[in-house]
Amino acid sequence: MVTITINGRAIAVEEGTTILKAAEDVGIPIPHLCYLEGINEIGACRMCVVEVEGKDRLVPACNNAVEDGMVVHTNSPRVREARRTNLLLILSQHDTSCTTCIRSGNCELQTMAADLNVHYQPYELRPERSRVDLSTPIIREAGKCIKCMRCVQVCDKIQTMNIWDLVGTGSRTTVNSRGAHSLADTDCTFCGQCVTHCPVGALTARNDTQKVMEYLADPEITTVVQVAPAVRAAWAEEFGLPKGTTAIGKMVAGLKILGFDYVFDTNFSADLTIMEEGSEFIHRFTHREDYSWPMFTSCCPGWVRFLKGQFPAYTDNLSTAKSPQQMFGAVAKSYFAEKIGVDPHKMRVVSIMPCSAKKAECTYEPFRDACGDPDVDVVLTTREMARIFKADRILPDKLPDWEFDSPLGTGTGAAVIFGATGGVMDAALRSAYYLVTGKNPDADAFTPVRGNKPWKEAVFEIPGAGKVRVAVVSSLGATRKLMEALDRGDAEYDFVEVMACPGGCAGGGGQPIHEGAELASDRGSLLWELDANMPLRFSHENPDVLALYKEYLEKPLGEKSHHLLHTDHHAWSMPNQL
């Protein structure tokens, strides 16, 4: 322990603590813009500078450790002047069209400018020219970038994709895609972690809301919307509803009021995924020699892009089952269109996803299995859904609770946990156990796959089938470690669940953004809670899924399923794939 004085208060702190943490812990917050604990402590923005007695120069608090006897002033006249001047300098390079910026109201820079009473800008404004490419789900507006480097660090350290880098040198140094002229030419997985960690509006998920508004405006079009499991754990945050609110009924009501003809639940197709993927796993497991191991889940498009881009040799290890989003689209434009007597060419399927990579997934060439049109037409993120609610002044706390429509609106507890890391594995094991033994296991028999550790492993005994070695990873950094271990022969599994975002979809790149807070764990807990309270907790008990098989698909892995619900992962390519 060392003793330091901050703003006249003597405090004892652990040696090695940064000045910033030490001050924060005693209730003296120091302003900062670039700082991201443990990830980006590089002193780039110089907003956190403080005065340390005995030093001529001001000292950044984020990356300097306390020293015994240090006397620190966080608001001395020199600090005030420096903080303000540096903020004005950063602002002079920032495109301050706040009124048309998606991050207005949730922008670190805007908040800082307001807090520091910045009113007049003495410097000439020179924002970098933005050359916006709308072909990718992730959009970078260079003019808004404040070069905090968080995106670079998050992509390097958490996701190990190294997509963003500093390019150019000197005063023209900026962030851009590494080694390629545009993001579209990189192996970017579109996970969106750079977006959720951007303090300003420089990185955003493409805004596709107007396409949806056009569908809703067209009387010829039947609009069908599906909502992914993890959305319900987070959407209420955008409206300041109490922590822990899921308010699923109000979300359904809001979407109905917006004008969607059918409001359905991706939980339905998550259960369907389990039927197909679970059956596929049992088939592979009982025909071991015909397949390479382990089998990987295929529901996360960020992960599928990662695998195809980084470890293409493992492509055949992916389950051929489509993701729940794509299964939903294929069923909506076939079975459901037929059922309600609508021409599928006049139907539009919209997804609300916690994800930016889903925006890419729905455009892949092979995903046109139902009628030749894309099975899913537009993907909105959780944030975009909140924005279209706000545009119509739909206030959730004033809404009634409505039910999802039938029949694609029914889901079990096994489906809702798709939104948390380990959930797909848990759900698949519940049904695999049933498929082999004909009996349900305890729904909570597979708890070792739950929780927020980036890399979990477990072995379960399924009577009649044997020991199943499973692993669950979330974040691409952990995924790369696992893949390298498999490559070296240091790890061996039968079934592996991978989610690109830390904590799974709950922490997805399309989820609400909160500065300095990682909410994946809290949101995940909400989903596990929903599961525990559901009357049905096994995918194979979803009555509407069973009806779908009975009326239309016949059986899991059957011919129709094969056509609508499975895919060839080789049928589309990553930009740099040979």
Partner 1 sequence: MQTVVEQIYRDMERRISGSPPGVCPVDEALNCLNLCRAQTCGKCAPCRVGLSQLADMLTQVLDGEPDEAILDRLERTARVIVATADCAIGIDAAQLVLTGLRGFREDFEEHVRHHRCLSTLHNPVPCVAMCPAGVDIPGYVALVREGRYADAVRLIRKDNPFPTACAYICEHPCEARCRRKMVDDAINIRGLKRAAVDNSGLVPHPKPAPATGKTVAVVGGGPGGLTAAYYLALMGHKVTVYEKRKQLGGMMRYGIPAYRFPREIMDGEIKGILSLGIDVKTGVDVGGEVTFDELREQYDALYIAIGAHTDKKVGMAGEGAKNVISAVDLLRGIGDGLLPDFTGKTVVVIGGGNVAMDVTRSALRLGAKKVTCVYRRRQQDMTAQAEEAEGAIAEGAELMTLHAPKRIEVDGDGKATALWVQPQIPGPIGSDGRPKPTDAEGEEVRLPADLILVAVGQGIESRGFTQAGVTIQRGGTLLADEDTRLPDLQGVFAGGDCVTGPATVIRAIAAGKAAAANIDEYLGFRHEITVDVKIPIPHCTDIHPCGRVNPREREAGERKGDFTCIEFGMTAQEARQESSRCLRCDHFGYGNFKGGRVEKW
Residues that bind partner 1 (CB under 8 A): 16, 41-44, 52, 55-57, 59, 63-65, 129, 131, 149, 152-153, 156, 165-172, 176, 181
Backbone angles phi, psi at 211, to 5 degrees: -60, -40
Query: Contact 284/495 with Cβ under 8 angstroms?
Result: no
In whole angstroms, how close is the CB of 571 to partner 1 at the nearest point?
31
Q: Collapsing DSSP states into helix, strand and coil, what is residue 500? A: coil
Residue with tokens 């670190």: 108
User: Which CB atom, from 55 or from 563, has the smaller least distance to partner 1?
Assistant: 55
User: Which CB atom, from 152 or from 195, has the smaller least distance to partner 1?
Assistant: 152
Rounded CA-CA distance 222/105 in Å is 34
Query: Contact 480/455 with Cβ under 8 angstroms?
Result: no
Q: Which two tokens stand for residue 420?
A: 């948390």
C-alpha 253: how far from chain center: 24
In whole angstroms, how close is the CB of 237 to partner 1 at the nearest point?
31
Q: Collapsing DSSP states into helix, strand and coil, what is residue 424? A: helix
Gyration radius (Cα) of the chain, Å: 25
In whole angstroms, how close is the CB of 79 to partner 1 at the nearest point?
15
Rounded CA-CA distance 570/316 in Å is 8
User: Which CB atom, from 57 or from 514, has the smaller least distance to partner 1?
Assistant: 57
User: Which CB atom, from 43 or from 509, has the smaller least distance to partner 1?
Assistant: 43
In whole angstroms, how close is the CB of 64 to partner 1 at the nearest point?
5
Per-residue b or e along 211-238, where b marks 16 or more CB atoms closer than 10 Å to that residue's CB:
ebeebbeeeebbbbbbbbbbbbbbbbbb
In whole angstroms, how close is the CB of 43 to partner 1 at the nearest point?
7
User: Which CB atom, from 18 or from 542, has the smaller least distance to partner 1?
Assistant: 18
User: Which CB atom, from 487 or from 559, has the smaller least distance to partner 1?
Assistant: 487
User: Which CB atom, from 119 or from 129, has the smaller least distance to partner 1?
Assistant: 129
Residue with tokens 């990553």: 574
User: Which CB atom, from 55 or from 345, has the smaller least distance to partner 1?
Assistant: 55
In whole angstroms, how close is the CB of 291 to partner 1 at the nearest point?
27
In whole angstroms, how close is the CB of 42 to partner 1 at the nearest point?
4
Q: Residue 3 forms beta bridges with which residues? A: 12
Rounded CA-CA distance 81/9 in Å is 22
Contacts of 338 (CB under 8 A, 6+ apart): none
Backbone angles phi, psi at 394, to 5 degrees: -85, 115
C-alpha 247: how far from chain center: 20
In whole angstroms, how close is the CB of 172 to partner 1 at the nearest point?
6
